[in-house]
Structure 1
Amino acid sequence: MDDQEPASNNTCKVFKCHPMSKVPKIVICLICENVYHEADFNKYTKSQFVSEMLVICPKHHQDNLTVKLDYGLNMLDENARKIITQVKLYEKEDLRSELCNNLSLNQSKNLSDISALDLDELATTKMENELLRQINVKLQARNKFDYASIVKNNLQPKPEIPKILVKSKTNNNRETLGKVKNKITNDLAIPINNVREKADKLVSITCKNNNDVARAKSVLSDKMGVDYHVELEHLNLPKVKIINVDHDLSKEDLCEDISNRNFRESNCAFNIIADYKNTTDKRTLILEVTPETYLLLHNNGFKIYIGHQRCR
């Protein structure tokens, strides 16, 4: 075809869903739905615009808009060919919709053909999935415990195991670690956690439980000989500071008073290691307590009752 309709006017189109976005200058073929740039499409000789953006590409020019009739002398005019093309496009979409509906009906029919046995298996599977979902919810709820909650609910104190310390008396023996490992491997039938050497050539040995510490120390003292010191690590007990104690009792009477008021129903032990006057002219006490006593105070908010006054 020699004459073509004008491609588009100078005004820019915008998207209906996004009014601020401009539509690029493209054209779409009504037959094959191929997309062209408007400038490139204008270069084709056998092409035609149906509307501003709908075109008929060269592969479907006017001689191929509809079925050719070898018989008959009358030819369709241009407007008739455009109408037939648009009708074909509509029928194409209508056919696609009908096929989709047929697929949906076939799926519904397949579901209706399920036997009673299949329905029982389906119900069992649904029940199993529901049980698994409930278990998953419970596991997720348990995993939400934070570190503070775990520590708060942990009522068992962690046992402190003193280390066994081995050191050469000459301070220049570099074979202390090797000798200790050799004695532990060959002569010491006691479970050991680890053996480490410190910066001052001091070797520390950690047993797996508290009951084996004394026996391991005794065996090592005999095996290492007189050239080595073998001793236990001194573990410092926890300490608690009590301020503003308004009492003139002696240490012994004050210990008895604190024990009767706070630890009568529990087997807790403590000792007053410091007693002095503070800036308010009242007493300040420093208590050395056992791990069990410290845990009890921790769970009680570190509150100790003395007489009618509560001190911290």
Structure 2
Amino acid sequence: MFLGSPWTGAVFCLAVALADWRYAVYATGGAALGTGTARVLGVSRDRLDPGLEGFNSALFALCCAVLLGPARPSTALFAAAGCAVVTVLTAAAVRLLRGGSLPPLTLPYCALAVAVSVAAPAFPRVRPYPGSLAALPAPAPGPAGPHLEEAARAFLHNVSQLFFLERWYVGALLLAAVFLTDRTAGLAACAGSATGVLTAWALGAPPPLVADGTMGCNAVLVAMALCGVFLPASPATLLYALLGAATATVLTPAVTALLAPSGGHAFTWPFVLTTLGFLAAARSFPRLTGRGEARTASARRRTCRESSVPIAR
């Protein structure tokens, strides 16, 4: 969640452990394996120390635990091997996106997670259960209207679903950890979650699909990324971030529908696609990047200097 604080990471591990201690083991083990692999391969410390080489592997290991079952030894071995692959994919993503000065985000995790969810049913030793991992979207029953209790659950589930958990107390603890580290990041996360809930309900999404948090979780990350992380926090970038959060919410069922027939899930693809697109576009909007004010100040200084030069010269 864009925070380089080890204390925040510790609280995140505690929040995941409250739901299932095995999930916390997978997440921390994945982070350690990804970071260790990157260190062995000689990745620079400016990427190792902030945790940039560990969060994709942590998410992948946790994804394996959720999709394949945390109690099976084959899941642990498969997740460990995948963490090494994620490290390689991270290096590739960094290299490919460097030309556009764009961050890899969770692209490496998403790519490998989709491949695993599609391929897993073909390998009985990895997933010995019948059927596919496909999750075809279907309308949920119930009236498409907002209810206070469901809105509150959705607001917190949007945060907890970033770790595949539908637990309101996990979402509350994660938000508290973000606020303790960076108040701006916490406010952006809240704004993104609220935007995801309001967008889904305004478009008529059934309350059960909104309340479980899967439709709005990507909006949380998009809002944080576009207001305070990759763009400066300002009223203009806040509006831009909320537009991105709404876009990610709409994009989530679209990505799910595209990937579900082959066994895939949306994961954080909506966040990756929306954030990369909005960051690339932001360079055309100087008011978002702060370059407009810098150019204006530079022009004023140049005008002042020119006005002080005698005409005879």
- Of structures 1 and 2, the larger Rg is shown by 1
The structure showing larger relative contact order (alpha-carbon pairs under 8 Å, at least 6 residues apart) is 2
Structure 1 or 2: more strand by fraction: 1
Structure 1 or 2: more helix by fraction: 2
Normalising by the smaller structure, the TM-score range is under 0.3
Q: TM-score, normalised by structure 1?
A: 0.22
Q: TM-score, normalised by structure 2?
A: 0.22
